[in-house]
Amino acid sequence: VKVNTISKAMKTYFRTAGVESFRVHDLRHTFASLLVQKGIDLRTVQELLGHTSYSTTLIYAHLSQKHLENAIAKIQY
């Protein structure tokens, strides 16, 4: 199966669901973000994504607002 074939099919499915701006590449960002939000360390995420540069992995690993709030909540005053 060609990547372009998968990309076209996914774009069709997402457009049908009302999601207009989607790229198959976005799945890499989602994968990395979910790993980080589940507590997987960035070095492991880097390996899973095949990045040679740690800074590239940081671009992919997005944290949700809830994840950030939970981190702050762990601080005891």
Residue 45 contacts residue 61 (beta carbons within 8 Å): yes
pTM (2 d.p.): 0.68
What is the end-to-end Cα distance of the chain in Å, rounded? 55
- What's the total number of domains in the chain? 1
CA 46/CA 43 separation, integer angstroms = 5
Output the CA torsion sign for 19, 30, 23, 54.
Answer: positive
Tens of pLDDT, residue by residue, the chain (77 residues): 787 888 888 888 888 999 888 787 888 899 999 999 898 999 999 999 999 999 999 888 888 888 888 889 998 77
In a domain, 11, yes or no: no
Taking alpha carbons only, the member of 65, 67, 13 closest to residue 36 is 67
> What's the domain range around 30?
23-77
CA 69/CA 17 separation, integer angstroms = 30
